Amino acid sequence: MTAQLTITRIKLPLANAYLVQGERPILVDVGAPGDADRIVRALAQNNVQPADLSLILLTHGHGDHVGAANELATASGAPIALHYADDAMARSGRNVLGTLTGLEARMIAPFVDKPFPSVTASILLDAPLDLRAYGVAGEVIATPGHTPGSISIFFANGDAIVGDLLMGGRMGGALWASQPGVHYFVGDFAQLAQSMEIVLARRPQRLLVGHGGPLAADAVQAWWGGNPISRR
Ligand SMILES: [Zn+2]
Ligand SMILES: [Zn+2]
């Protein structure tokens, strides 16, 4: 199982999605409404057809990550998995952003915070999930804070996809993409801090994020050691 694992970033206008290819491919996040064609093209460039996907895994319920879920689910026949604590948000089609963490967040919020088509996940996560059942050497755990239902995924190759737990760079990752930073929107700072500790304790080598990145683990350790949340 560990022999084969490739993670490809699919860079979308607002957010990243990831194609994870193990014995079978899964898709992590699906961008904003209207991104389905871009994702299908990216899959094709990696010789993956939508029908090959065994799972569509959503890191959390925000519209820039779940926006094209319905089209991708229809095209692939794959189940959509989401943590149950973000189910109501995904179904409602309305973002709950939490605290806006600065001036740039307030500038960017109107562009990001658009209603999106209601998404109904067929798998609601409430415990760690071993992805081997879907052909990928990886494990999903709950890492709440950005949203109540945010998850992170740890892979056998040392990579971790952590969604919007933190972000890379400024302006949605357009600048200094490899520099760790506090996300624009935080639901619960205490939960977020606890989740960061849980993620770092697992010693991933690389953190793959929803915006910008990838982030080297030592850069994240150094940044986190400076107490970026309590300084706010
Ligand atoms: Zn988000
Ligand atoms: Zn996002």
What is the rounded distance in angstroms from the CA atom of residue 10 to the CA atom of residue 30?
9
Name 215's bridge partners. Answer: 207
Q: Which helix (H) or strand (E) holds 216?
A: strand 215-216
Q: How many C-beta atoms lie closer than 10 Å to residue 180's C-beta? A: 23
Ligand nearest to the CA of residue 16, numbered in listed order:
2
The ligand with the least distance to the CA atom of 192 is 1
Neighbours of ion ligand 2 (CB under 5 A): 15, 64, 164, 210
What's the pLDDT score for residue 231? 55
pLDDT bracket for residue 229 (50, 70, 90)? confident
| Tokens matching residue 20 | 């994870």
Residue 155 · residue 18 · CB < 8 Å:
no
Other residues' Cβ atoms within 10 Å of the Cβ of residue 214: 18
**Is residue 102's pLDDT more than 50?**
yes
Whole-prediction pTM = 0.96
- Ligand 2 centroid–CA 15 distance in Å is 6
Q: For residue 174, what pLDDT is reported?
A: 82
The predicted pLDDT at position 1 comes to: 44
Q: What percent of the chain has pLDDT over 70?
A: 98
In angstroms, the CA 156 to CA 159 distance is 7
Spacing, Cα 19 to ligand 2 middle (Å):
17
Assess contact for 60 and 164: CB atoms under 8 A. yes
Q: How confident is the model at residue 175 (pLDDT cuts 50, 70, 90)?
A: confident
**pLDDT value of residue 53:** 98
Beta-bridge partners for 128: none
The answer to whether 64 and 32 are in contact (CB under 8 A) is yes
The sign one gets for the Cα dihedral 53, 36, 143, 157 is: positive
Quote the ligand 1 centre to 48 CA distance (angstroms): 26
| Domains of the chain in sequence order | 6-225 (3.60.15.10)
Confidence of residue 112 (pLDDT cuts 50, 70, 90): confident
Round the average pLDDT of the chain to a whole number and report it.
Answer: 95
Name which residue leads in pLDDT, 99 or 2. 99
